[in-house]
A = this chain, B = another copy of it.
């Protein structure tokens, strides 16, 4: 009990998630082996990718939702909940593998992306045709497998039927929302849609709902939370999820490469359509068109350090940095104000408070 109250159980979660994922992959052997070593090798690549994922953010929020609603971390039924929460990592594996194909990304977590790994196999084997197209094809299939297995793992978690029946609509909403957010993102990028409303929708569905709000909601439904507690957790998650993304957007332009691990001004070079940028362009178009024009000219191409600094200065001058910082503060305050009177258990409440504060003010 004291473990739960101190929130330590949540910090113990990542290794339990990893164990649940290992057990799930082991359980797939009898299905995979008859299909032969080629498939088994691809599955091993998927497994290595999933097991190398570090922070287990989504399972952690689901677990916090469950414990916040009274779930006992070492009580009977807890392992089944860990398994259901861990299934979120397989949804995320699909999202990352397919995103890396869509974005044509070569590396992730300092290693070759899954499709690039398959392409390298193709080249090393001197096979016919394009290695890149083979990598894409195998990566699509591998991501599909992760998505299908996410459902198998969730459905087969052993969580009792009534809890599963409560949680399943949340599971469905989360997948539908994140795919919607991804689609909006690629359409916004292609169409050059830099409107604030579009950036807000993408942040809401691609990040906040998928990463924080729905995992908390899922956990709370697994625990049979009442509707007020669910509303609290969702409200907290929606606010803090957007705040996290806005902090990411600031770090993507102003972050220290030595701390973030990303190139300086990365989001500018990629031309990423963030809320930060949308606010700057909105304001510039109305009050300082030449600054807006110059900012647009600094997006989506390699920039020397001097031009990165120039873009940063424009974002400051147009008031966008101040506006985003104010919004992060207001979202964090809203989230904390929701927590304060909430009926959730003490340990998870404290942990969510800490996460809200550290997430909003982090430097990486």
Contacts and interface: CB of A to CB of B under 8 A. Distances in A.
Contact of A184 (B35, B136, B175, B179): B35
A297 interface: no
A127 B201 contact: no
A187 to B, nearest CB: 5
Interface in A116-167: 122, 125, 127-129, 133-134, 136-138, 140-145, 147-149, 151-152, 155-156, 161
B143 A144 contact: yes
Contacts of A177: 31, 35
A227 to B, nearest CB: 18
Contact of A180 (B39, B127, B182, B189): B39
B140 A176 contact: no
Nearest to A31: B176
List the number of copies, as a whole number: 2
Contacts of A152: 168, 172, 175
Interface centre among A28, A138, A145, A190 (most CB of B within 10 A): A190
Contacts of A101: 136-137, 140
Contact of A156 (B148, B168, B179): B168
A183 interface: yes
Interface residues of A, number: 57
Contact of A144 (B31, B128, B147, B161): B147
Nearest to A161: B161
Contacts of A75: none
A341 interface: no
30 contacts: A31-B177, A32-B176, A32-B180, A35-B176, A35-B184, A36-B184, A38-B183, A38-B184, A39-B183, A39-B184, A102-B137, A122-B190, A127-B190, A127-B191, A127-B192, A128-B189, A134-B190, A136-B136, A137-B186, A138-B186, A140-B140, A141-B183, A142-B183, A144-B144, A144-B147, A145-B176, A148-B176, A152-B168, A152-B172, A156-B172
Interface of A: 28, 31-32, 35-36, 38-39, 42, 94, 98, 101-102, 104, 122, 125, 127-129, 133-134, 136-138, 140-145, 147-149, 151-152, 155-156, 161, 168, 172-173, 175-177, 179-184, 186-187, 189-192, 201, 205
